[in-house]
Structure 1
């Protein structure tokens, strides 16, 4: 399972970078489009559609990272009351259910994407096939399936899972924060 963890760590880093890049691109597109409409009186053709498409991709790639870091919203009251052995069993059950559901949605998304690409449909204001919009579903759900398999394996073997802090900015120490406040940095 070590090879899977190495591959997923690299996928995690790539997905986190791509997600950050998408957020910057969406922000720039919408900002420039709003400024162009307000100051020049023109709208950038395809800007909003591209931002919408990137938002869908962000949702599915972000869901993959949330599965990897156990960051999805969870109702954990029951698991906190239960003992460690029952918590472990519950985590195994959730992982198995996650694999089944995400694999099913991967299959449905793949069928839909294949059908859309095959139909030759184009986006309304961009010179791209509409299938690129739908491709986010099988890519995201496929990654989520693999992430749930890895979570299941980690739960069974005791491997450490990544946490959200692995993808955030480094934390400042108190002395660094004080130096910034005083203007010494």
Structure 2
């Protein structure tokens, strides 16, 4: 189980870090172009927004798996350890359900509005598809893959909460 948790932490951390690095790189390059050439790239304004959402979702799952998320502990700190652990286990179960519900809602939202063109990405995606001959790249110019960040975030939150629950239950048995 430790190997699975380490792998999940690595994936979540890598995803969050890569997303934020790409956001920085795109904004940096776009700023340089704007002030040197006088023109920024069309997708340089919109893509960082979507990448930030994916990065936040990865970070959210990592924080939950590390049990380092925001929590108000004024009352829980006064509870006996056994009651507190049971309460946190219940919170894990609720988070699994909330993550699954968020994944479902994100999926429904993305499928209903997924074919809407993304104004800043459409021309670039069409150009990529035309130059490579890969027609499926047109999909990157739609809002669907970017709106799936909510569904993806819900799914990985549910996974993180499930792993945390298993870890919490296994450490309770060792006591």
How much does 1:136 deviate? 1.1
The answer to whether structure 1 residue 59 and structure 2 residue 49 are counterparts is: no
How much does 1:39 deviate? 2.5
Alpha carbons 2:19, 2:51 under 8 Å: kept = yes
Alpha carbons 2:106, 2:150 under 8 Å: kept = yes
2:144 corresponds in structure 1 to: 131
Change (3 A) 1:8 1:139: farther
Query: Which aligned pairs between 1:103-142 and structure 2 lie closer than 5 A?
Result: 103-117=100-114, 120-126=115-121, 127=125, 128=140, 129-142=142-155
The answer to whether structure 1 residue 28 and structure 2 residue 25 are counterparts is: yes
1:11 corresponds in structure 2 to: 8
Q: How many residues align?
A: 154
Cα RMSD after superposing both structures: 1.7
Q: Which runs of 4+ in 1 moved over 3 A?
A: 5-8
1:164 corresponds in structure 2 to: none
Query: Which aligned pairs between 1:1-185 and structure 2 lie closer than 5 A?
Result: 2=1, 6-117=3-114, 120-126=115-121, 127=125, 128=140, 129-158=142-171
| Bigger RCO (CA 8 Å, 6+ sep) | 2
How much does 1:8 deviate? 4.2
How much does 1:153 deviate? 2.0
Q: CA-to-partner distance for each residue in 1:111-161, whole Å, 9 max, x for gaps?
A: 1222233xx2221111222111111111111111122122222222217xx
**Which consecutive unaligned segments of at least 5 residues does structure 2 have?**
126-139
How much does 1:53 deviate? 0.8
Change (3 A) 1:131 1:8: farther
